[in-house]
Amino acid sequence: MLDRSAQPAMQRDCLLVINAGSSSIKFSLLCGDTAESLETIACGAIEAIGSAPHFLVGDQAGARLAERRWDEQASHDALLGHLIDWIEAHAGPNRLIAAGHRVAHGGLDCVDPQRITPEVMAQLRALEPLAPMHQAHNLAPIDALARLHPGLLQVACFDTAFHATNPAITRMYGLPQALTDAGVRRFGFHGLSYEYIAGELPKHAAQPPQARTIVAHLGSGASMCAMVDGKSVASTMGFSALDGLLMGTRCGALDPGVVLYLLQEKGMSVGQVENMLYHDSGLLGVSGISNDVRTLLASDSAAARTALDLFVYRAARELGSLAAAAGGIDTLVFTAGIGENAAPIRARICEQSAWLGIDLDRDANLAGQPCISTPASRVAVWVIPTDEALMVARHTFALRP
Ligand code: ADP
């Protein structure tokens, strides 16, 4: 049982948060009486969807609560049905009142979290071509839950929404205006992570009015966001989640002339180019070894070193660009898998950015402390773990009846 207390427990409302990808569904179950007091009581994932699905759920301390494997392919409905059955069998006195979903694209219109209705779903489906690797996968569990649990409140929260505050000029490409009007513009992603960090940072250090912060969300997908006064003013991702930094398997910023060359001169099909840019590039493509920074740091191969050199160079260069967009930088925050865990990568990005006034405290960085800049550093540097699921849960809680 999730509630192991010996006392007769009070019934509490709980929320399911879903972050669905092409072959996995990550989920969390949270309880609380207010949006700010929500706490995770269980989290897990269904991995290897489409081949040999594996369901694993643990409690907040990481102890395993349940596990199941399927030998055969199982449908989304069957897998989510198993999750809902598990929640209902193990929720004790807790009552599932809503499901919140991380959805990549909200387009120009969805800048606030949305209660799911058939009209909202139609709007979000129309955005699938703008996020071909994410949107359809994000929407599939919404459809499945609507069938399995009709009447359950479902809420979509968007990775693009936080960047709706970007000034119009920063959202444009130098393309004919008709294309800009048709939606070919910068949107930016990882917004739920940035929104969470914007809320956490003032808990670590008081922020002066108009404080200029750059957040480096360095995970398998990676981007940076410049904020002024806690609001996004620019980000490294644009129309798609390909732009900006070098990522695990994505190329980051690329001269569009390269794409034309591959299509026209190398005879590659659109599908081959798409696959290469999303899945075969980045740290994996450059190193030829792995998309995982842990593996590359442990390797003594020259190709692994080159991949990490390029990762650091691109990050430091974009940091300078975002500082220009924000009119300077007072605080730098590292977050997500690489940002939170890879001290040598943080150190190298900070060292290459010393000209901005960043002075790294090497011992604090190695010790994994939250503040990793020296007292003399003009720019404060923090490491703050992100929590996109909690952000989705807070938005979902706010929209419950
Ligand atoms: P996502 O949520 O986008 O899948 P994460 O934020 O979990 O990604 O980041 C995953 C990446 O973080 C891994 O691919 C790996 O490169 C990096 N990472 C995780 N832990 C460590 C670690 N201890 N040291 C270095 N890199 C790490």
| Per-residue tens of pLDDT for the chain, all 401 residues | 454 444 445 678 899 999 998 889 999 999 998 999 999 999 999 998 888 899 999 988 889 999 999 877 788 788 888 988 888 888 777 889 999 999 999 999 999 999 999 999 999 999 999 898 899 999 999 999 999 899 999 999 999 999 999 999 999 999 999 999 999 999 999 999 999 999 999 999 999 999 999 999 999 999 999 999 999 999 999 999 999 999 999 999 999 999 999 999 999 999 999 999 999 999 999 999 999 999 999 999 999 999 999 999 999 999 999 999 999 999 999 999 999 999 999 999 999 999 999 999 999 999 999 999 999 999 999 999 999 999 999 999 999 98
Distance 219 CA to ligand 1 centre (A): 5
Kindly state if the Cβ of 338 falls inside 6 Å of ligand 1: yes
Domain boundary, last residue among 158, 190, 216: 158
* Nearest alpha carbon to residue 29 among 399, 392, 401, 400: 392
pTM exceeds 0.85 for this model: yes
Ligand 1 atom closest to residue 283's alpha carbon, by position in its atom list:
16
Whose Cα sits closest to atom 14 in ligand 1?
Answer: 292
Kindly state if the Cβ of 221 falls inside 6 Å of ligand 1: yes
CATH code of the domain covering residue 269? 3.30.420.40
Is position 395 within any domain?
A: no
List the Cα angle 26/311/223 in 5-degree steps: 45
Q: Which of 19, 102, 220 to mutate to test the pocket of ligand 1 (most atoms within 8 A of CB)?
A: 220
Are 388 and 196 in contact, with CB atoms under 8 Å apart? yes
Angstrom CA distances, 68 to 71, 92, 108, 186, stand at 10, 20, 40, 41
Is position 199 within any domain?
A: no
Report the domain count for the chain.
2
If phi > 0 it is left, if psi is from -120 to 50 it is alpha, else beta; for residue 230 that is left
Q: Which of 24, 217, 308, 338 to mutate to test the pocket of ligand 1 (most atoms within 8 A of CB)?
A: 338
Q: Is 359 considered catalytic here?
A: no
63 vs 381: CA distance, rounded Å: 33
Ligand 1 atom closest to residue 248's alpha carbon, by position in its atom list:
14
Whose Cα sits closest to atom 2 in ligand 1?
Answer: 219
Same-domain status, 362 and 244: yes
Distance 356 CA to ligand 1 centre (A): 26
Residue position matching structure tokens 């509490």? 12
Is position 59 within any domain?
A: yes
Whose Cα sits closest to atom 21 in ligand 1?
Answer: 341
Are 156 and 101 in contact, with CB atoms under 8 Å apart? yes
Distance 173 CA to ligand 1 centre (A): 31
User: Could you say which of 33, 85, 109, 159 is catalytic?
Assistant: 159
Are 145 and 152 in contact, with CB atoms under 8 Å apart? yes
Is position 5 within any domain?
A: no
Is position 192 within any domain?
A: no
Domain around 116: 13-158
Are 198 and 188 in contact, with CB atoms under 8 Å apart? no
